[in-house]
Structure 1
């Protein structure tokens, strides 16, 4: 019986996307590479723990959860998250940014300056620009100011992001338009904290990094993994946590967060045998493609 591995998720490095496995092993992903694995039989999906520590209860978690954490571990993880607004004394400088995911889909957010653009890659931002840099609380206040004044959210659901990737404007200038407009409006606003230094417009485009140019429209997305099921497809693009895989029935999107918590084994088969939800104008409609 093949050894089962546990996946820690997708990470973005200077070389591109990588699948990270427990123990530190990494699988570099390149366009055209076949992504094939089976889900070990005889076991379910278990909590991945919090902050680098195993779940003390080894609790079972839902196959459709992207967090793969039980209620207690999810609480512990969020308690130490910058996004939870529970950390006020972080001495590191933070950047405020505008991120664009598709027409009418721009958000404002913050990230530690030392992380560079990693947060934008992890979110699947098609393009972005920095707005300013300063202490954490100043960055937070600026984020709230811009959310209210520009009427932009601080979160956009992944389902909305992945649904538009194959129909993005064709040029970098077109894709940068909304970010440039919002950046100009943002820096013209009063009320910015004095300790936050405004940054000029420099739009960074990730279409080539993600492999989105000429991307075929996806027919659906994996809704969950199941024991005994298999994933098999050729990688044509990756954005945020999502892998776009060419299968016998068309391109299917796999959110790699669904892989965590399962025991995964090598699979040499040629079929995708996990549940796939078809993209539809009617939310929640199940498609029997696979």
Structure 2
């Protein structure tokens, strides 16, 4: 029987994206690599737990959700989440940033200074700049100020990000233009918290890191993994949690968050894609040491 591996998700390191497996093993995801894995017949997706604790019930969860948590564990995770605005006493300094994902898609967000640009890579930000740094609540107030005064959202749907990745402006200057314009408008606002120190606009571009140059339009995205199904394809780009794989159907996007909670097994590298795919219509959208 093939050895099964339980995926903990995709992480961005200094060397690029990696799939992380329970126990700490990592699989580097280099462009041009053949990615192939499957779910055994009879496999069930189970809750990944919360706050580094396993789900006490090992509850079964839907294959379509990106969180892979049961209701109880999801509630516990949100109760200790900066992103969900449920923590107010974190003593760490925070960055406020502007992140660009495509024309007309710039968002404001915050991330702990100690994390550097990891949060931006995880979100698939094609270009970003820091806006300022300071205590958590000051960063939150600045984020709210930009939303109210400039109409800058704090979330961009992943479907919208995927839809434009293959048709982005070719030059870094063009990709940075909206961030620079919003940065100038933001620092000119009155009402900034005194404890938040503004930072100059210094756009950082991730198009090369993600492999977006010449990226073919995706024909669809994997909707879920299923028992007995397999994913196989050549990695042509990776942005945020999304793996763009060249398959027999064309380029298909696999959101790596759909892998969590499943026990995965190795399959033939030249196999076919046999999991449900949601087609994009009218949009651009020995000892086994690992699965691949």
TM-score greater than 0.5 by the shorter chain: yes
Within 2, Cα distance between the matches of 1:236 and 1:221? 14
- 2:273 maps to 272
Residue deviations 1:110-152, cap 9 Å, x none?
Answer: 0000000000000000000000000000000000001111101
Residue 15, structure 1, aligned to residue 29, structure 2: no
Q: Which of structure 1's runs of 4+ aligned residues deviate more than 6 A?
A: none
Q: Retained in 1: the 8 A contact 2:43–2:228?
A: no
Q: Retained in 2: the 8 A contact 1:40–1:262?
A: no
Residue deviations 1:180-233, cap 9 Å, x none?
Answer: 000000000000000000000000000000000110000000000000000000
Which runs of 5 or more residues in structure 1 are unaligned? 283-290
- 2:139 maps to 139
- Count of matched residue positions in the alignment of Structure 1 and Structure 2: 282
Within 1, Cα distance between the matches of 2:9 and 2:235? 16
- The CA deviation at 1:248 is 1.1
Residue deviations 1:227-277, cap 9 Å, x none?
Answer: 000000000000000000001111000000000111100001520000101
Which runs of 5 or more residues in structure 2 are unaligned? 284-292
Q: Retained in 2: the 8 A contact 1:6–1:264?
A: yes
- The CA deviation at 1:18 is 0.3
Within 1, Cα distance between the matches of 2:171 and 2:282? 27
TM score, norm. by length of structure 1: 0.96
Query: Alpha carbon RMSD of aligned pairs, Å?
Result: 0.8
Q: Retained in 1: the 8 A contact 2:109–2:154?
A: yes
TM score, norm. by length of structure 2: 0.95
More displaced stretch, 63-72 vs 81-90: 81-90
Residue deviations 1:91-116, cap 9 Å, x none?
Answer: 10000000000000000000000000
- 1:159 maps to 159
- 1:224 maps to 224
Secondary structure (helix, strand or coil) at the match of 2:45 reads coil
Secondary structure (helix, strand or coil) at the match of 1:129 reads strand
- 2:73 maps to 73
Within 2, Cα distance between the matches of 1:10 and 1:86? 25
Within 2, Cα distance between the matches of 1:252 and 1:12? 21
- 2:29 maps to 29
- 1:98 maps to 98
Secondary structure (helix, strand or coil) at the match of 1:164 reads helix
